[in-house]
Amino acid sequence: MGEREFTITRVLDAPRELVFRAWTDPAHLTRWFGPRGCTTPRSTIATDVRAGGSWRATMIRDDTGDEYPTGGFYIEVAPPERLVFTWTEPGGSGGESVCTVVLAELGTRTEMTFHQSGFVSDATRAGVHDGWSSAFDRLTDHVKEKAP
């Protein structure tokens, strides 16, 4: 049984400095972090963006109010092109995986390649993939609004 992992690639209509800030600045994260149907209040987000620094955020379902705390540690921070961090499944039941975000400049746009590995089950991997995919739809809209 190989390692459970996935990759999602998106091209965003924004410069990569803005996309990097969207990943690291709580004022941006509150606008897109979490799948559609969830809100991540600014008060629940903390980022210490340096190797060894921690991050946390709590997604709250809009319909039920259920809370999904998540967080981890930054492993590598190389603005504006690369961010590697650990991620704990909401609620903490699924172990810890590693996320890598690579941002490539495409003129005024940015290609974002997101890779996550180290899931404890295929079901967890599938659910997390769907969650990120939905969140990246929100990220796409957010940076398009904020781009100059």
**Average per-residue pLDDT for the chain:** 93
* Residue 97 vs residues 14, 31, 83: alpha-carbon distances, Å: 28, 24, 14
Which tens digits make up the pLDDT trace of 66-95? 999 999 999 999 999 999 999 987 666 667
Q: What is the pLDDT of residue 91?
A: 61
CATH code of the domain covering residue 93:
3.30.530.20
Residue 1 per-residue DSSP state: -
Phi/psi for 135 (5° steps) reads -60, -40
Q: What is the pLDDT of residue 139?
A: 98
Give the separation between CA 27 and CA 36, rounded to whole angstroms.
18
Q: What is the pLDDT of residue 64?
A: 97
Q: What is the pLDDT of residue 94?
A: 65
Domain count, the chain: 1
Q: What is the pLDDT of residue 92?
A: 60
Q: What is the pLDDT of residue 1?
A: 39
Q: Determine the structural domain holding residue 11 and report its residue range.
A: 5-146
Residue 4 has pLDDT above 80, yes or no: yes
Residue 144 per-residue DSSP state: H
Q: Which residue has the higher pLDDT, 122 or 34?
A: 34
